[in-house]
Amino acid sequence: MECPACGSTRVYRSKSRGTLERSLHAILPIHFYRCHECNWRRMRFRKRALNIVIVSVLGLLFGFLLFELASPIIQLMLHLILS
């Protein structure tokens, strides 16, 4: 990984500092990175964890959409069967 500020490759994972960063780190799949050359600091999402989050959110959305689309049809079918 290269530092976007100074181009140095001395960018390493950094410990979360303070309550805000610690709670963010506890809740979200993120890591903090720091450049040892210029002290540039940034949080980044863990790639694999991010993929899992995206897939599950999309899956939920798709499932919900499908259910919403299908429910009038299901209701109609139930109505036809029961009446």
Among 37, 41, 50, 53, indicate the residue that binds Zn ion (CB under 5 A).
37
- For Zn ion, which is the closer residue by CB, 40 or 45? 40
Instruction: Note whether 3 binds Zn ion by CB under 5 A.
Output: yes
What's the CA dihedral at 11, 13, 15, 18 to 10 degrees?
60
Instruction: Note whether 40 binds Zn ion by CB under 5 A.
Output: yes
**Which residues make up the interface to Zn ion (CB under 5 A)?**
3, 5-6, 8, 35, 37-38, 40
